[in-house]
Amino acid sequence: MKTGGGGGMVEKAKGGGGYHFPEWAYKPESSPGSRQIQLWHFILELLQNEDFRHVIAWQQGEYGEFVIKDPDEVARLWGRRKCKPQMNYDKLSRALRYYYNKRILHKTKGKRFTYKFNFNKLVMPNYPFINIRPKGAVPQSAPPVPTASSHFSFSSLDSPNDDARGRFSGGSTAQSSRESLNEVGERKPNPPDPDDISTDWRRGIDLMSSRNAVGSGIHGLQKHKSEIMLPVFSMPGMFPDPHSPFSVSPLAGRGGMLNVPISPALSLTPSIFSYSPSPGLSPAFQSGSCFNFNPEEMKHYLQSQACSVFNYHLSPRTIPRGPGFMFPLPQRHFHLEEPQSYPIKLQPPPMGRKNREHSQSSEENNPVPQLAPLIPPLKVEPVSDDEPLSDEEFGSSGLSSDEEPEMSVKKEDPEKEGHMFVKPAAPPRSPFLHGSPRVGYSGAEQPLEVTEKAARDLSTEVFTVEKKEDSLPPKLRLKRLWNEDRQYEAMEECRKVSCIISAIRTPVLSTESQALAAAADS
DNA sequence: CCCGGAATAC
DNA sequence: GTATTCCGGG
């Protein structure tokens, strides 16, 4: 059997050193509004390409950390891509520094030209059970992953004011929670770092929730075509490589559509995924300070969460959230490894698209993997063949083939790669409505109402805070908003934590939690 | 080298 | 909104 149901998506190291890597990270349009290639994406591109390992490469040992070995070259490449010949490392690095606040990147202090993607924390917390060897043959495309044994010893996680405190104040009162929140709020917009896990994590979850909704057949409300079409993003260099960590995401999007045998107890039930458990939960679990869950269950749970990670389209600040929000995600996948479990159907390549047919530059004639035969017959929602997808093309096309030796045949524009278009099948029904909130947990007995209430109070409280408009200078206000955003996150996390906990403990409570959460949301 | 503010471009 | 450009400062 393949890597096996639930574990399938989690461990694929066997494939040949292939590690998981958030596929969402490659989504060019991860940032709504910006049709242009983004630097972090570009970096990832280079990172993923073996041909550039001498220019930029993952740093062994630290997941998500990479070193720019040749700053000038990277800058040059970036400049080329953006048609900014004057680009240099100084400027590029400035752009990178802007990512700090967005929490896309961190600077690895002390190490020259070394940065670290933030999602390491995003992913790892969800794969504590991955059985992999970081020192194994880690392909350029795969960021080093800490061993399971390294056990969450995130340099940045356990340092400064930890999340666990402010976000996961177990039985804290609204008061204490608020203090924490305030503290967060007072913080400078560029926090030391230790809070991304939760927030990003949660965002991922939220996103997934949204997707669930979309996948639940609600997509009818959308007018955007992209939510129906799932373009498979093919990376020429890696596509054919089944071992590539980028060909992951066997989940193929919607967690709700997964066939991954996730624990029946902690499956993609509405109780859990509709209201996304707090990301703080994961770290909390890890620290093993708050709860004593059955490792097995926990594993399943985390695996479930993993879905969100895979589906998480990095957009730290732009991913909308909210229970009712439908996220029209055009999703790009590389290769589906366990197609039989994907409720998606392949669709003939959208050659109709203008820039599709012009396979002009040799860059991407990459043979698109035959997904079709792999995809099992599934119920497919008739879709209007609108624009398959909004794929941008760069005016830089004029550059045609680069003088770059590496670039010549290789690709520099993954975005232009052949796309596979698949459309998700509409799930039988809305998991929200029919999913059973039942969970396998009934072991715990302590009532969680307290936490729940606290969370709720907190919720309203924060909401109130959010409501009031302050007349600050644009700039300050932005920062303020940023902080508030974080406050909101913290608050919501709190609430969700209680929800998830309740859900885990008792089905009934779970339902109530949902109601509460729903109320709070609305 | 690295950091961010500010202005600016897109 | 992201990135570029410039830059004073550690």
> Per residue in A239-291, pLDDT tens?
332 222 232 322 233 332 322 222 222 222 222 222 222 232 333 333 332 33
DSSP A89-146: HHHHHHHHHHHHHHTSEEE-TTSTTEEEETHHHHHGGG-TT----TTS---TTS----
Backbone angles phi, psi at A363, to 5 degrees: -45, -45
CA distances from A505 to A5, A265, A455 (A): 25, 10, 17
Is pLDDT above 50 for A117? yes
Is pLDDT above 70 for A52? yes
Q: How far is the CA of A420 from the C1' of C8 (A)?
A: 50
Q: How far is the CA of A83 from the C1' of C5 (A)?
A: 14
Instruction: Please return the burial class of A515, using the count of CB atoms within 10 Å of its CB with bins 0-12, 13-18 and 19+.
Output: exposed
Mean pLDDT of A414-431: 36
Contact A390, A331 (CB under 8 A): no
Q: Which residues contact A286 (CB under 8 A, 6 or more apart)?
A: A125, A128, A151, A152
Residue A98: predicted pLDDT: 95
Strands of the sheet containing A230-233, edge to edge, are: A230-233, A419-424, A344-347
DSSP A456-508: HHHHHHHHHHHHS-----HHHHHHHHHHHHHHHHHHHHHHHHHHHHHHHH-HH
Between CA A123 and CA A21 the distance in angstroms is 8
- Sign of the C-alpha dihedral, residues A477, A319, A11, A139? negative
Is pLDDT above 50 for A140? yes
Q: Which residue is nearest to nucleotide B9 (CA to C1')?
A: A84
Lowest mean pLDDT, pick from A93-97, A169-173, A335-339, A408-412: A335-339
Q: How far is the CA of A40 from the C1' of B1 (A)?
A: 20
Mean pLDDT of A298-302: 36
Q: Which residue is nearest to nucleotide C6 (CA to C1')?
A: A91
Give the global pTM: 0.41
Range of A86-95, A221-230, A294-303, A513-522 with top mean pLDDT: A86-95
A306-347 per-position pLDDT tens digit: 333 333 333 333 333 333 333 333 333 333 223 333 332 323
Residue A23: predicted pLDDT: 58
Residue A3: predicted pLDDT: 36
Q: How far is the CA of A327 from the C1' of B1 (A)?
A: 41
Q: Is the CB of A113 under 7 A from strand B?
A: yes
Q: Is the CB of A110 under 7 A from strand B?
A: no
Q: How far is the CA of A190 from the C1' of C8 (A)?
A: 20
- At A99, the pLDDT band (50, 70, 90 cuts) reads very high
Range of A220-229, A464-473, A499-508 with top mean pLDDT: A464-473
Q: Is the CB of A354 under 7 A from strand B?
A: no
Closest nucleotide C1' to the C-alpha of A68? B1
Protein-proximal nucleotides of chain B (any atom < 7 Å from a CB): 1-6
DSSP A333-364: ----S-GGG--EEEE---TTSHHHH---SGGG
Residue among A19, A18, A30, A28 nearest A317 (CA): A30
Mean pLDDT of A470-490: 47
Contact A472, A398 (CB under 8 A): no
Q: How far is the CA of A90 from the C1' of B1 (A)?
A: 10
Protein-proximal nucleotides of chain C (any atom < 7 Å from a CB): 1-7
pLDDT cut 70: percent of chain A above it = 16
